[in-house]
Amino acid sequence: MWKYECKRHLLYLLISAAAGAVLFGITIDDSFIKEITSLYDWMPIEAARQAYELRWAVGGLVGAALVNGLLLARYLISYFNISPMVVLLVILLASSVFQFLMIAGLLLLIPTVLVCLYGMLTVRSSAAKNFRSLPSGDGNEVERIYRLHHPFKEDVASLATKCRKESDRWTLIYFLGLIALMCLLLIIPSFALMMLIVMGYALLSVYVFRLRAQSVMPINSLLFDQCDPLACASAILCFSRRGKRLNLKMHLLFAQCMLCLDDPQLAMDALVLMRRNRSNSSMELNYQTLMAEANYQLGDQSALERNLEAVRSTRVNIGAAGNLMLQETIAAIQNKLYLMNEHFDQCEAYYKQVLPQLKLRLQLVNAHYYLGMIAFVRKDFFDAKDHFRFVAENANTTSYRPKAEKYLAMIERLEPKEEEEE
């Protein structure tokens, strides 16, 4: 929903206005009047002198207008799913594209600010309201509920602190690069050189974001490689805490930890608190997948069907990889519906198809657990025992382990009876 982008859009406008005001106020001198009147001969010298005297305000207006135009263009590109190659060709062939964006951003600046304020004031959800009403913030309530339901592992605090410092460092580098880019764009006269710098910054920013994502991989590894949702959730809470306030981060990962601990309600609370960027199709598909798993654990088939419809209506914007991810998400949610309706033939076919492709320990545990369940229902105890043994040996602190051990004990009791009947 566009309302979730309003706060971020308005924050970008304020930052760009402040940066433009500072840059114009520092870099522009008395020669500005002669240069502007020679460049635009239709402009009266009195107007140029007035602009020089108000250079701080003009700089702020120019910075906000340019960023506003760029953000609006980004929304249109995402909404209409325009190829990045088309955007690059337009930038290279149309030399006045930045001037057009600045004019459009200037004309739409006041309407955009009003729309952002309206969106910020009206975006609400019942669950988020309950959390916002708490004096300590939403994350503090999540931690309180987590500590009531599950043990908290203090030994992962050092790992979380290290990951947070690494993530903050790459975030700082990104914003310093953005400020440097804005400074260069204001002083470089050559459009070709300007485009080369922008393209170079875009490539470097992708690399910086990749390094920032890698900085939290040790926390991800606690769940996906070690099957330890207790350690992973504790690390996320430590990572999110700054002083006395806890602003929950990594909502998707935390929700998945709760699902591995059979706590779907807390998982849904974490997902509700997440700022959803619906233009990011990958994030939206992951969100719907986790919501579907929570609804499956709660036994809500109608909600599960709504998740499936939401996924089918999602607009993917990352090419063939996005379409593949969309089809995999649809298949996974459809499989949950098959499980709920006891269509075990389709479920078994699904898990046997995806099992050779799975590499993460948690995914393998999940697939073996449900294959063991299907075999147990069919009274194929030999096959079920193999699957449950794998789960018991690899599930670590997930809820799959005690369940698998319970089924193994049941199989041990049932097997002598089967032999006597034979």
Q: How far apart are CA 269 and CA 290, in angstroms?
A: 12
pLDDT mean by block of 10 residues, the chain; 422 residues: 75 89 77 65 72 83 89 79 67 70 89 89 54 48 90 94 94 87 73 75 87 94 96 94 85 95 93 77 90 94 93 77 87 94 93 93 96 93 94 95 94 71 54
3-state secondary structure of 241: strand
Query: Taking the CB of residue 285, how many other CB atoms lie within 10 A of it?
Result: 22
Q: How far apart are CA 58 and CA 218, in angstroms?
A: 46
Nearest to 102 by CA among 184, 20, 196, 42: 20
Q: Give per-residue burial for 368-387: e unless 16+ CB within 10 Å, then b.
A: bbbbbbbbbeeeebeebbeb
The model carries a pTM of 0.73
Q: How far apart are CA 337 and CA 318, in angstroms?
A: 27
| pLDDT value of position 152 | 94
The position carrying tokens 């599960």 is 304
| pLDDT value of position 135 | 38
238 within 8 A of 249, measured Cβ to Cβ: no
Query: Taking the CB of residue 158, how many other CB atoms lie within 10 A of it?
Result: 11
Considering Cα of 135, then 137, then 141, then 143, what sign does the dihedral take?
negative
| pLDDT value of position 205 | 87
| pLDDT value of position 343 | 93
| pLDDT value of position 134 | 38
| pLDDT value of position 215 | 94
| pLDDT value of position 137 | 44
| pLDDT value of position 191 | 63
**Enclosing H/E stretch for 242:** strand 241-242
| pLDDT value of position 341 | 92
